[in-house]
Structure 1
C-alpha cells in the first residue's frame, strides 16, 4: 500500500531555490543512514556512519544458490587459469557494454583510467580524450563504496566495478571535458577531520603533476561523500559543490559555512523525509550567509520491462524482461510498476534463484541492486539529473 506522501510519477525536477528567512540554530546533525553498500575490505570508520551512496548490497550468493568448491591457488597452472578467466571477464564486459550502448544509439563511453596511490590514498582518475580539460571534478563515494564504482572494468582497471549510475556521471563529466578524480576513503566512510586536508593535498598534487593547475575544481559527493565534500568546500577554493542524498555538514558556532563558500547544489530523494527536513534547514542557513543554493529532487521510477537493459550496459533486453516478469509474479511491484519496498529489503535474489535465473543474473547483481534502489527512490546514487547538474556546474566555472 502506497503511503500518501509519495508521488507515483516518473522524474520530477525542482527548480533552483533561493531560500530566505533562515534560522541560526543550524548545527548539522550526525549523519545516520541505513547501511546499503557495495562492500570494500577496509577498516570500519569510527568517525562517521553514513550510508553508501552507490548502495547495492554485496553480491553474496543467496541461501539457495548452488555452492561451488574454491580451487586451490597453490599451483602455477591454477593461478594462470584464474588470470585468463579475469581477462576474459573484462573483455566480455567491454563487448556486452558496447552492444548495449549501440542498441540505444549512444556513443560508447571511453574508459582509460589511471590507478595509483597519491600520498597514501588509492586514487583513480581520467582525463578527457577529445580535448584538454576545462575543469576538474573530484568525486567522493559513499560508505563501504569505492572509486572503482565510477569506471567499468578495463585492462587499465581490471578491478573496476562500473556501477551504472556512477559510470554515467563519470562518462558525462569526461564528455564535458572535466578531468575526473576519485579517491578512496581511509575507512568504510569518510571522516571529517584529517581526511579533508588530506584530500585537498591529493587534489593539488595530482593537478600539478598532470598540468591541471589553475583549472576550476568542482566536487561531487554522495551520502558520506556528500558530508565530506561539504567540509572540503570550506577548506579549499571550489567553483561549485554538489551534495547528493545528504544534507551536508557545516562547521562554525551556528552551523555557518566559511566566508567564501561555493555555490551549492543538493540532489536528494524526497522519500527520505528526515533528510529533507535537515536539508531544508541547511539550505536556508547557506542562503542567509550569501551562498547560492539549488535543489533537485529525484523521485521513484516504475520498473518497466526494459528499465534494467536501458540503464545497465551488459544487461540485454531479454534478461531485463525475465527479471521484470519475476518481479510482477512475486508481487514486488504494484499495479503501476512501482517497487513496493526498498530494493535492499526486497528478496529479489532468492526469487531469481527459485526461477533458475541466478547464474545468468549474478554477474550483474550489484548493478541491478543499484537500479532497484534508484527505482524505489530512496538514498541512492543517481545520474537522472546529470545533464542539469553539469549545466549548473559549468555556469560557475568562470
Structure 2
C-alpha cells in the first residue's frame, strides 16, 4: 500500500482534514490527491470512506515527482489540547498531598516512529468499521410512480400524490403505494362523477375534488399496498359496449408500463360504475369485483365460466335495488360464483359527524350546520335525516343563516355525507376494512 499525501506549502494545513486520534492530531495538506494501491475487494475501494484519497485497484500509478512543495510525508503532531480524561482530572497542584511529577521526555524521532503506524492503523480500522456498519444497516429501497423513495420495510403509509394522464383517450388518475404494490385496484365512478373525486387537491392534482368517502377508499387501498387506477367515462355515465373493451386494454397497458403486469387486479364500481365493472369482470381476468349500490348487469345467459368472486355492498333502504341484489346473488351462486353481501345502513346526523368525516371542515362549522338541520326540522327526534340530502333544501337554509360563504367550498363534500347519513344511494367507506379483507382473501 502506498500513500501520497496532499502536499501544499509547508505550514498550511487544511483544518477540515484534521482527524483527532488518541492524543494525536493528524494533519493532511490539500494540494495533491493521494492514491492507495489496494485489491478490488478491499473495503476502502468499495466504501469511498476516504474522500481525500483516490483508490487504485486495477493498476499501480507511477510515482509522482519528488518535489518538496508537492510531496510531503504524512505529518503527525502532538495534540496541544488535553484528552477528555486529562481535562476532567485535577492537576497535581489541586490534589491535596500529591506531588506533580513531570513526564519523561522522549526524542522527536521516537515519537514520530511510534505515532505514524499507530495513526495509520487507527484510520484503517475505523474505515473498515464504517464500511461494515453501512453494509449491514442500509435498508432496501423502492421508487414509486410519483418519484418517492421509501423504505421497503416501511408502514406503507399513503401519501395521496397521484399522477394525471390519459389512457386510451380516457382521462386517468393513478397512484402507486409507498411500498411495492401487492395488487391493483381499478375504481369506476358513478354518474356525474369523475376520477378527481378519489384524490384530494394537491400540487400534483390541483383540480382534484377529494370527496371524503371516495378518498377514504383510495387511502385505505394505498395503505394496503394496492396500486389504484381510475378512468373517466366517456359521458356522464358508463356505457356497456366499447367502453368495457377500452377499459380492459387500458388497464392491461397501464399495469404493463408500470411493472404491475403480474399482479392480481380487483375492480370496484359505484352505481353506474358498479354496472360497468360487472361487465368488465366478464371480459377480463379479475381477482374480485365489488358492486357498490348496484345490482350489476348480466347477460341473459348468466356469467361466463371463471367469473370472479363478487361482493354486493348496498343500502337496503333502497328496497327495489335490494330485491335485485338478492336475485342476482342467487343467479351467480347457481353459476358457481362466490358471493358476499354487505349492507350499509343509515346514520344519525350528530353535531360533529361532518367534521369527523370531512378533513377540512372544523367542529364549530359542523355544529352550526347541525343546528340548522335541527331548527329546520330536516332531522327527526332521533337525529336521522327525513329525506335524502339531494332533496333537502339545506343550502337555502344555510344561506338564510348567513354563513354560506364558509360552506360553499365544501358543499359537495357535505352533500355526500348527508346522502350517506340518509343511507339510500351513495358511495360509502363505512365497510372499507371488511371489504378489503375480503378482496385480499382472493388475491392468491
Q: Does 1:315 align with 2:353?
A: no
Structure-2 residue corresponding to 1:243: 291
Q: Does 1:231 align with 2:279?
A: yes
Q: Deviations over 1:202-247 (max 9, x none)?
A: 0000001100011000000000000000000000000000000000
Q: CA deviation at 1:357?
A: 1.2
Query: 1:203-218 to 2 correspondence within 5 Å?
Result: 203-218=251-266
Q: CA deviation at 1:303?
A: 0.2
Q: Across the two proteins, how many residue pairs are aligned to each other? A: 289
Q: Take 2:226 and 2:165, find their aligned partners in 1: how far apart are those partners? A: 19
CA RMSD of aligned residues (A): 1.0
Structure-2 residue corresponding to 1:168: 216
Runs of 4+ in 1 over 4 A off after TM superposition: none
TM-score normalized by the length of structure 1: 0.72
Q: Match of 1:343, SS?
A: coil
Taking CA–CA contacts closer than 8 Å with sequence separation of 6 or more, which of the two structures ends up with the larger relative contact order? 1
- 1:289 pairs with one of 335, 354, 357: 335
Q: Take 2:392 and 2:300, find their aligned partners in 1: how far apart are those partners? A: 41
Q: Does 1:275 align with 2:321?
A: yes
- 1:137 pairs with one of 185, 189, 199: 185
Q: Take 2:257 and 2:359, find their aligned partners in 1: how far apart are those partners? A: 33
Q: Match of 2:365, SS?
A: helix
Q: Take 1:134 and 1:291, find their aligned partners in 2: how far apart are those partners? A: 24
- 2:174 pairs with one of 122, 125, 132: 125
Q: Match of 1:157, SS?
A: coil
Gaps (5+ residues) in structure 1?
1-106
Q: Match of 1:335, SS?
A: coil
- 1:195 pairs with one of 226, 243, 251: 243
Q: Deviations over 1:286-325 (max 9, x none)?
A: 0000000000000000000000000001000000001001
- 1:177 pairs with one of 205, 221, 225: 225
Q: Deviations over 1:30-74 (max 9, x none)?
A: xxxxxxxxxxxxxxxxxxxxxxxxxxxxxxxxxxxxxxxxxxxxx
Gaps (5+ residues) in structure 2?
1-155
Q: Deviations over 1:249-307 (max 9, x none)?
A: 01143xx1111100000000011111111111000000000000000000000000000
Query: 1:1-398 to 2 correspondence within 5 Å?
Result: 109-129=158-178, 131-253=179-301, 256-398=302-444
Would the aligned equivalents of 2:290 and 2:310 in 1 still touch at CA under 8 Å? yes
TM-score normalized by the length of structure 2: 0.64
Q: Deviations over 1:102-131 (max 9, x none)?
A: xxxxx99521100001110110000001x1
Would the aligned equivalents of 2:173 and 2:229 in 1 still touch at CA under 8 Å? yes
Q: Take 1:136 and 1:111, find their aligned partners in 2: how far apart are those partners? A: 16
Higher strand proportion (structure 1 or 2): 2
